[in-house]
A and B are shown apart, each in its own frame.
Chain A
Amino acid sequence: MTDQGDSGRTRKLMEEFAPTTFEERGVTVPFTTPLLSQARLRRDANERFEFLLPNFTAGKGTYVLPWKGLPNVMTLTLHDRLLFEEIEKLETHSPEQIRSCALTVQATGVCGPDAATRAVSLLDQDSQYLVLTQFILVTELLKLVNISAADLMRPGMTADDSKRVARQALAKVAAMVDIPPDDMTGRVDQLGEAVAPVGLPQAPKSGRLRTLADRLQAFAQGTQHFAETDPSDAAMLGTYVSTVANHTLTLARQRIGKLDAACRDARQIVNDAPKLHKSIQEFVARISWLLDGWEFLIAMWESVKSEPSASKQTAISDISRLLPMIPKEEISAATESLDLDAIQRLQKKWVRVNQDWRTGVLDMDAVMRLESLKAAMG
């Protein structure tokens, strides 16, 4: 059996088992039970929930378990029990919806005060950013009737004056396509909600997913630097991680570019809002799926930035096992130059031998480490 043969077989296996779609890959759920950390949720053929558990076998494959089976295998934190209850109430399970659920549960304080404070602040930032996005959309529309943002904020104008001018101007825009002014406001609200996770390119502050893409770029650079300088064989895992990160980043940036192009012409809001809304939703959903799971990995890497190389080696090994697999339809030649067999062997080598899940008792220190990462996630 040659190395090349093994590699070829592993690649074939990876292609065989790579998810076809993002839905098949499953959405990452930020559980705090260590063995469930970064578990991916999806529905099985009978529409029942099942979880893909990358941490369960510590590098020797991914376990798929139905939700009902989990409590028999491990003790779940109260946070995870409550989060799952919230998830069960959802009709669809996109990364955005799971995030919103997770933040709502986290904000209760069930996983500690830092994580709660962070969740409250993130929910607040989301709503502020939505207002900002909707405001920018309004100003873009007003440009169609030759009113600028400066016209709404002239010296001596009160907030009510500004609102009145904006309403009058929006009514003019609505009249262009012969719809009631309130309908135009409704369109702006809807489009704003759809685009806010990524944000508009002209916004003074980047949207959440756009910022995450920037952080992913820094992460890819950091792990590449690690790969180039670390003397141990974990360096190869660094190359693997940074390659997948760069690949994901390229795809995410392509989608962000397309989204920005779609949002560029405000006349579409007037002329064909439903079509624009649909394409924005599709682009944002794709970007969100692409970046799903990366925020946790970035937080993990950032948490060892100033640590000794041994901590970085362990972290890169953990990260390499949790990498979000890019579905078949998105797989490009980027990973083909890697010796996937060697990567798998290395992943197993860096697994800690003293981890024991069989007792079923929660390791509260490990839970708290995950909670502190939750508190550090943007």
Chain B
Amino acid sequence: MNDKKPAAPGSPASKTSDWAALGADIMRLPDRKLLQIYRLLEQVGDKPEVSDAFGAMRPRLTTLRPPRRPALSRLFFLPAEDMLDDVGHYSRRLNRICRTTLSPCWQAVREHIPAALMQEVNQEVALVDYRDGAAIAVLVEPLWQAGAEALDRVMAECQNNLKYKISLFGRDDDVQRQLGTLRQILTVAFRIEKLKAALPPRPILDLAESHVEIIRTALIDLGKEDASLTQPLLLVLASRMQRPGELLRMLGEVRLGGTVAEKETLTREMSGYVVGNLLRQTSDFDRENLQVQGDPASLAAAAERLTDGLNSVNDTVQGLRDKDITAKMKNARAEIGHFVLKNICADVDKELTSALFGHDGALPSDEDVKKAEQLALALRRSSKLAGPLGIQREVTAKINEARQQVVDNTLAALRNTPRNRDGSMGADAQRQMFNGLRMVEILSGSDEAERLFREWNAQFR
């Protein structure tokens, strides 16, 4: 999928690496310090070098989610935020945009936007809550409109002036495609942001009836104006959904303006994008990179998200009757399955036992119990995926193994923990018993946990 990465733009290599190195250094700091430095860096403003530091910090920032000052460039690219990929994950010909394109693009575009307009937007935005997506959309709309026109001029200049293009974006022609996607998104930027503000935050897991209605209305309204305008909106929306297949189904049911052939083309293109985007994310899974590092619970959640996404597009893929895509889907499932077995299931039982019982007979801390819970949850999530991924036998065996270890260790702890004078279970033993039962409940269900509770209660009361 990721055949060739675009070259990093512009700025001197040494300077860039200094900022990136600073970003990497910051990553070693505790959360509070990292956020302090993040706020200071934000005040430096929209320098390309600073974005290298942000790039290095991004994985932590994704987790910490600090409030972000809405810099003008960030607001400008806001409608396209779901289409952005880091350089290591960018795939060509998929309507995605590489983050390295943004800085030179903004540098070029801002030259064509009236300074007074930028200043006005900046001032107005400073007065509202940046989390109020609907208000931000209203205030920034003039910038997006002017930006779309400005981007037209930049793209035309790139076509006509090779030197100009190379100085901004290098020699890679793929940039032109990325700018085209951005241009499409900017055309309907206001509608995109309004829609985002009315829907649940990404990844969108569950849609309420009202949400479905809002999406339908937005598509129909846009379709009436020009059916092709629905595409950028659909691209963004599909990128925000955990089960983008549902959007494709919805698209099939909605009557957009335009001809039947136009609708078919749109559906085919969207299906291609949705499937391609899921495969792209899946292909990142088999790489040994930073994005797939993390605790088993979040890895399992990521695997679940992708499997869920792949399952949701099953019907669409079958409808496409494309052997190549069908084979790729099969491979993608195999890759996720391999990932789950290797990164989640491999040592989870040992880690769980160590978190819960590795304290020389003493009770585990609350943090240890929570860690054990997360490990058990990761295994449970994996079992939900096991069927579609074809790894049911291995995951079931691992769950049984983990459950047996919890039961054996809990029994040992109950036997070894001193009882009360009347022979009843002491407070520590009770806590140990409930810790064990909780893990069994997560791994094997409440009926099994209740059975063990009755058994242990009778044995050790």
Instruction: Encode contact with B along A336-368: 1 for CB under 8 Å, 0 otherwise.
Output: 000000000010111111110000001011001
Instruction: Encode contact with A along B203-216: 1 for CB under 8 Å, 0 otherwise.
Output: 00111111011000
Given contacts A78-B441, A308-B133, A314-B200, contact A117 B209 (CB under 8 A): no
- For residue A348, which residues in chain B have a CB less than 8 angstroms away from its CB? 209
Do the beta carbons of B201 and A311 come within 8 Å of each other? yes
Q: In the complex, which range does the number of interface residues on chain B fall in?
A: 35 or more
- For residue A112, which residues in chain B have a CB less than 8 angstroms away from its CB? 369-370, 373, 438
Tell me, in angstroms, the Cα distance from A233 to B209 when the chains sit together: 13
Q: Which residue of A lies closest to B131 (CB)?
A: A308
Do the beta carbons of B205 and A117 come within 8 Å of each other? no
Do the beta carbons of A310 and B369 come within 8 Å of each other? no
Instruction: Encode contact with A along B440-457: 1 for CB under 8 Å, 0 otherwise.
Output: 011001110110010000
Greatest chain A CB density within 10 A among B197, B208, B380 is at B208
- For residue B132, which residues in chain A have a CB less than 8 angstroms away from its CB? 309
Do the beta carbons of A114 and B450 come within 8 Å of each other? no
Greatest chain A CB density within 10 A among B200, B207, B446, B447 is at B446
Do the beta carbons of A109 and B435 come within 8 Å of each other? yes
Interface assignment of B377: CB less than 8 Å from any CB of chain A: yes
Contact among B208, B369, B377 for A314, CB-based, below 8 A? B208
Least CB distance, B56 to chain A, in whole angstroms: 27
In B373-393, the 8 Å CB interface with A consists of: 373, 377, 380
Do the beta carbons of B377 and A364 come within 8 Å of each other? yes
Tell me, in angstroms, the Cα distance from A136 to B442 when the chains sit together: 47
Least CB distance, A228 to chain B, in whole angstroms: 14
In B260-285, the 8 Å CB interface with A consists of: none
Do the beta carbons of B369 and A75 come within 8 Å of each other? no
Interface assignment of A232: CB less than 8 Å from any CB of chain B: yes
- For residue A353, which residues in chain B have a CB less than 8 angstroms away from its CB? 206-209, 212
Interface assignment of A7: CB less than 8 Å from any CB of chain B: no
Do the beta carbons of A310 and B201 come within 8 Å of each other? yes
Interface assignment of B366: CB less than 8 Å from any CB of chain A: yes
- For residue A355, which residues in chain B have a CB less than 8 angstroms away from its CB? 206
Do the beta carbons of B380 and A108 come within 8 Å of each other? no
Q: Which residue of A lies closest to B364 (CB)?
A: A113
- For residue B407, which residues in chain A have a CB less than 8 angstroms away from its CB? none
Least CB distance, A315 to chain B, in whole angstroms: 11
Least CB distance, B123 to chain A, in whole angstroms: 22
- For residue B73, which residues in chain A have a CB less than 8 angstroms away from its CB? none
Do the beta carbons of B369 and A350 come within 8 Å of each other? no
Instruction: Encode contact with A along B157-173: 1 for CB under 8 Å, 0 otherwise.
Output: 00000000000000000
Interface assignment of B431: CB less than 8 Å from any CB of chain A: yes
Interface assignment of A110: CB less than 8 Å from any CB of chain B: yes
Tell me, in angstroms, the Cα distance from A69 to B134 when the chains sit together: 46
Do the beta carbons of B441 and A109 come within 8 Å of each other? no
Do the beta carbons of B199 and A117 come within 8 Å of each other? no
Interface assignment of A185: CB less than 8 Å from any CB of chain B: no
Do the beta carbons of B207 and A352 come within 8 Å of each other? yes
Interface assignment of B430: CB less than 8 Å from any CB of chain A: yes
Determine the main DSSP class of B at the interface with A: helix
Interface assignment of B151: CB less than 8 Å from any CB of chain A: no
Tell me, in angstroms, the Cα distance from A351 to B210 when the chains sit together: 8
Do the beta carbons of A78 and B201 come within 8 Å of each other? no
Interface assignment of A317: CB less than 8 Å from any CB of chain B: yes
Tell me, in angstroms, the Cα distance from A309 to B369 when the chains sit together: 33
Contact among B206, B366, B380 for A352, CB-based, below 8 A? B206
Least CB distance, B294 to chain A, in whole angstroms: 17
- For residue A81, which residues in chain B have a CB less than 8 angstroms away from its CB? 446, 450
Instruction: Encode contact with B along A51-89: 1 for CB under 8 Å, 0 otherwise.
Output: 000000000000000000000000111100110000000
Least CB distance, B107 to chain A, in whole angstroms: 31
Interface assignment of A5: CB less than 8 Å from any CB of chain B: no
Tell me, in angstroms, the Cα distance from A116 to B197 when the chains sit together: 37
Given contacts A81-B450, A311-B200, contact A110 B438 (CB under 8 A): yes
Least CB distance, B328 to chain A, in whole angstroms: 26
Do the beta carbons of B449 and A113 come within 8 Å of each other? no
Least CB distance, B365 to chain A, in whole angstroms: 8
Given contacts A75-B445, A77-B441, A78-B453, contact A350 B209 (CB under 8 A): yes
Given contacts A310-B197, A354-B205, contact A114 B445 (CB under 8 A): no
Do the beta carbons of B199 and A310 come within 8 Å of each other? yes
Residues of A in contact (CB 8 Å), total 39
- For residue B198, which residues in chain A have a CB less than 8 angstroms away from its CB? 232, 310
Tell me, in angstroms, the Cα distance from A309 to B196 when the chains sit together: 10
Q: Which residue of B lies closest to A114 (CB)?
A: B366
Tell me, in angstroms, the Cα distance from A234 to B435 when the chains sit together: 41
Do the beta carbons of A110 and B380 come within 8 Å of each other? no
Instruction: Encode contact with A along B111-154: 1 for CB under 8 Å, 0 otherwise.
Output: 00000000000000000000111100000000000000000000
Interface assignment of A231: CB less than 8 Å from any CB of chain B: yes
Do the beta carbons of A113 and B133 come within 8 Å of each other? no
Q: Which residue of B lies closest to A352 (CB)?
A: B206
Greatest chain B CB density within 10 A among A81, A114, A309 is at A309
Instruction: Encode contact with B along A276-310: 1 for CB under 8 Å, 0 otherwise.
Output: 00000000000000000000000000000001111
Tell me, in angstroms, the Cα distance from A362 to B446 when the chains sit together: 9
Interface assignment of B437: CB less than 8 Å from any CB of chain A: yes
Tell me, in angstroms, the Cα distance from A368 to B370 when the chains sit together: 11
Do the beta carbons of B200 and A231 come within 8 Å of each other? no
Q: Which residue of B lies closest to A232 (CB)?
A: B198
Tell me, in angstroms, the Cα distance from A346 to B438 when the chains sit together: 38
- For residue B445, which residues in chain A have a CB less than 8 angstroms away from its CB? 75, 362
- For residue B369, which residues in chain A have a CB less than 8 angstroms away from its CB? 109, 112-113
In B176-229, the 8 Å CB interface with A consists of: 197-201, 205-210, 212-213
Tell me, in angstroms, the Cα distance from A233 to B309 when the chains sit together: 30
Least CB distance, B249 to chain A, in whole angstroms: 12
- For residue A75, which residues in chain B have a CB less than 8 angstroms away from its CB? 445-447
Do the beta carbons of B437 and A110 come within 8 Å of each other? yes
Least CB distance, A220 to chain B, in whole angstroms: 22
Least CB distance, B460 to chain A, in whole angstroms: 14
- For residue B199, which residues in chain A have a CB less than 8 angstroms away from its CB? 310
Least CB distance, B65 to chain A, in whole angstroms: 10
Least CB distance, B236 to chain A, in whole angstroms: 15
- For residue A117, which residues in chain B have a CB less than 8 angstroms away from its CB? 366
- For residue A349, which residues in chain B have a CB less than 8 angstroms away from its CB? 208-210, 213
Tell me, in angstroms, the Cα distance from A353 to B249 when the chains sit together: 14
Q: Which residue of B lies closest to A230 (CB)?
A: B134
Contact among A78, A234, A310, A350 for B437, CB-based, below 8 A? A78
- For residue B213, which residues in chain A have a CB less than 8 angstroms away from its CB? 349
Do the beta carbons of A113 and B366 come within 8 Å of each other? yes
Q: Which residue of A lies closest to B242 (CB)?
A: A354
Pull 9 A–B residue pairs with CB atoms less than 8 Å apart, ordered by A: A75-B446, A78-B446, A109-B438, A110-B438, A232-B198, A311-B200, A349-B208, A352-B208, A353-B207
Besides A78-B449, A307-B201, 7 other CB < 8 A contacts? A78-B450, A110-B438, A309-B131, A350-B209, A353-B209, A354-B206, A368-B373
Instruction: Please provide the 7 A-B residue pairs with the shortest distance between their CB atoms, ordered closest to farther.
Output: A352-B206, A113-B366, A109-B434, A349-B210, A354-B206, A113-B369, A78-B449
Q: Residues on B close to A: CB < 8 A?
A: 131-134, 197-201, 205-210, 212-213, 366, 369-370, 373, 377, 380, 430-431, 434-435, 437-438, 441-442, 445-447, 449-450, 453
Q: Residues on A close to B: CB < 8 A?
A: 75-78, 81-82, 108-114, 116-117, 231-234, 307-311, 314, 317, 346, 348-355, 362, 364-365, 368
